[in-house]
A = this chain, B = another copy of it.
Amino acid sequence: MTPSERLAALEMELPSVAAPVGSYVPATRTGHLVLTSGQLPMGGGQLVCKGKVGKDVTVEEAMAATGIAALNGLAAAAGAAGGLDRITRVIRLCVYVNSAPGFTDQPKVANGASDLLVGIFGDAGRHARAAVGVAELPLDAAVELELMVEVTDG
């Protein structure tokens, strides 16, 4: 199955890509790599999960939010690549978790994105990953993430 077929089988679809507020773009391409801007858990033009994980937000809610941010990241990457099925491999995922004092389950939160990527790309979705707990995030988002993927010209 292609990534877009797997996405459909998961009954998911790529969201539209939000226009960045500033002098930047959703994603850039260099050679066969596409790097995305930091992705927030936006849905329908709204931030769907805000606050500190471990206090305002549960791990389960944060995992779901991280999956939403990952889907936004794939939409951004697909836009730069010329389509989701041009993405051949996920190289790097970096997850920034807006963490309450003492919250150390960042890897669990990041699994919300990692599992989705493997669900869509299979083994090619297995990536290098960093997950860290940050002090604050834009708009008080619960999570932000960056993706780096490998693409083909089809």
Contact = CB atoms under 8 A, between A and B. Distances in A.
Interface in A84-133: 89-94, 96-97, 99, 101-107, 110-111, 114-115, 117-118, 125-133
User: What is the count of identical protomers in the complex?
Assistant: 3
Nearest to A149: B30
A134 B5 CA distance: 39
Contacts of A97: 136
Contact of A137 (B25, B91, B114, B132): B132
A150 B30 contact: yes
Contacts of A24: 93, 114, 126-129
Given A107-B138, A110-B22, A36 B99 contact: no
Given A28-B91, A38-B129, A130-B38, A104 B137 contact: yes
Nearest to A93: B24
A109 to B, nearest CB: 10
A1 B133 CA distance: 39
Contact of A146 (B118, B130, B140): B130
Interface of A: 20-28, 30-33, 35-38, 89-94, 96-97, 99, 101-107, 110-111, 114-115, 117-118, 125-140, 144, 146, 148, 150
